[in-house]
Chain A
Amino acid sequence: MAKIRRNDKREMPALNTSSLPDIIFMLLFFFMSVTSMKEVTYKVQIQNPQATELTKLEKKSLVRYIYVGTPTAEFRKQYGAETRIQLDDAFADAKEIGDFIINERSSMKESDQGLMTVSIKADKETKMGIIADIKQELRRAYALKISYAATQRTSY
């Protein structure tokens, strides 16, 4: 004879979520390892130019960046819409690059100083005049290893 169930309303067992933190931590570590900290907050707008023969910049600690572009909307009132150079967190003049490089270089280990790479992150619409100025300043400061930041081109 079949047993008659008296209590039809069974309680749903609580879902075991004890492994959820582990999963999230795994995600967290994944993101921590594949991403990099933003170097600075951009004050200039930069759209990378495209190229195909790219090499990766290996050691982050040896790379210094120079940003070139037009100021973002919030700074446009103050600085105008002309192409500007940004070093670290501030707008700068091309003439300040020399000091910047020398400062940065002296803060590095002596064995690394010769390996310093300067990455020029410039907007693709930038005129070459300003890039030529930057290059001259870099030459004067003996920062000869440079890299033009670009994104991989997928099609013509």
Chain B
Amino acid sequence: MAKKIPQINASSMADISFLLLIFFLVTTSMDVNQGLARRLPPPIPPDQKIEDTDINKRNLFVVKINWENKLLVQGQELDVRQLRAKAKEFIANPNDDANMPKLVEEDFGAPFGMVKYAKDHVISVQNDADTQYQAYLEVQNELVAAYNELREECAQQYFHKSYNDLDEEWQKKISKIYPQKISEAEPKNYGGK
């Protein structure tokens, strides 16, 4: 008759795995890395002078943030919460306003057909050296949100689907109708506050 093998005492196994668990809890962080993705413009070669590119005034949407984190949008003071609506109106220019960007008609193929869109608009963000990061990020966020909302509306209108659920091909087309053009001014030294 075979001898009975005594069972291995595994009661400390739980303790060992607890130890491991606690080690991982301490050394890892739960927060997912999220952020507002942006793209910087390529550097200017040093031999090239910074020239003020001539942009038609109606195509330009200027957002200035001062050191008190207050906004000046197109020459008017504005709350950051109203910025999104204002930017959307500017980018889409639904009424073909003469003070808003020039609309260019272009054929995008089915199902869009001929689409009028503000091809050459530019949103310019200028900030002071003493502007708070949070205020700056809020402005960036609202501007990106304006684009995202317009693209979403466009996707709903033509496909009855969310923009994120569309094929890449259609996403590209829609993002061409609403091209994200947020320019940031070259930092200048204004001297003092």
B25-55: CB near A (< 8 Å → 1, else 0) gives 1011111111111111111000000000000
- B24 CB contacts on chain A under 8 angstroms: 28, 31-32, 35
The answer for the CA separation of A123 and B90 in the assembled complex, in Å, is 31
**Chain B residues, CB < 8 A from A123:** 133
Shortest beta-carbon distance from B47 to chain A in Å: 14
Number of A-B contacts (CB under 8 A): 153
CB atoms of A151 and B127 under 8 A apart: no
A133 surroundings in chain B (CB, below 8 A): 187
Given A129-B130, A131-B136, A54 and B27 touching (CB < 8 A)?
no
- B13, B43, B133, B137: which contacts A142 (Cβ < 8 A)? B43
State how many residues of chain B have any CB contact under 8 Å with chain A.
47
Chain B residue with Cβ nearest A38: B29
Is the C-beta of B110 less than 8 angstroms from some C-beta in chain A?
Answer: no
- B60: CB under 8 A from chain A? no
**Residue total for A at the interface (Cβ-Cβ under 8 A):** 57
Indicate if A4 sits at the interface (CB-CB under 8 A). no
Chain A residues whose CB sits within 8 angstroms of the CB of B130 once the complex forms: 127-129
Cβ–Cβ < 8 Å partners of A145 in chain B: 37, 39-40
**B25 x A125 contact (CB < 8 A):** no
Task: Identify A35's interface contact among B30, B38, B133, B145, CB under 8 A.
Answer: B30
Contact A139 B42 (CB under 8 A): yes
The 7 A-B pairs of least Cβ separation, nearest first, read: A129-B129, A147-B35, A35-B28, A21-B13, A124-B134, A24-B17, A51-B141
